[in-house]
């Protein structure tokens, strides 16, 4: 692999990570505003699973399965990070409403 190609791949990965983090931040901010954030996350997960199941990647079955597995892992990691950021405030809010 040439140095130029390697540098381009590093830049592409960096840009992808930045976009992932930006999207996670925007999504977290939106989820915080939801009346039931965990329900929204559950719905988001269902939508993702339904969508990824029907995407045609143009790959053989084994490669498509491996790609789906990788995408699910990235999705799960990001969703866990969002859930961790909204779960505690959501639980505190629920407890506050329960005490009233």
Give the model confidence (pLDDT) of 26-81 as tens digits: 999 998 888 888 899 999 999 999 999 999 899 999 999 999 999 999 999 999 99
Provide the pLDDT for residue 90.
65
Provide the pLDDT for residue 45.
95
Alpha helices by DSSP H, the chain: 3-32, 37-54, 61-99
Taking the model in full, what pTM does it have?
Answer: 0.74
Q: Is 92 a residue whose pLDDT tops 90?
A: no
Q: How far apart are CA 79 and CA 73, in angstroms?
A: 10
Q: Of 41, 35, 33, nearest to 81 (Cα)?
A: 41
- Taking each helix axis from N to C end, the angle separating 61-99 and 37-54, rounded to the nearest 10 degrees, works out to 170
- Taking each helix axis from N to C end, the angle separating 3-32 and 37-54, rounded to the nearest 10 degrees, works out to 140
Over residues 93-99, mean pLDDT: 77
Residue 8 has phi, psi (to 5 degrees) of -65, -40
Provide the pLDDT for residue 71.
94
Please report, for the chain, the start and end positions of each structural domain, with discontinuous segments joined by +.
Answer: 3-99
């Amino acid at each position: 692999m040439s140095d130029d190609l390697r540098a381009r791949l590093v830049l592409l990965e960096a840009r992808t990570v930045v976009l992932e983090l930006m999207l996670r931040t925007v999504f977290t901010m939106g989820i915080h505003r939801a009346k039931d954030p965990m329900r929204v996350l559950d719905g988001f997960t269902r939508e993702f699973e339904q969508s990824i199941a029907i995407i045609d990647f143009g790959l053989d079955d084994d490669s498509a399965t491996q790609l789906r597995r990788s995408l699910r892992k990235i999705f799960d990691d990001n969703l866990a990070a969002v859930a961790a950021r909204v779960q505690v405030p959501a639980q505190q809010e629920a407890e506050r409403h329960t005490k009233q």
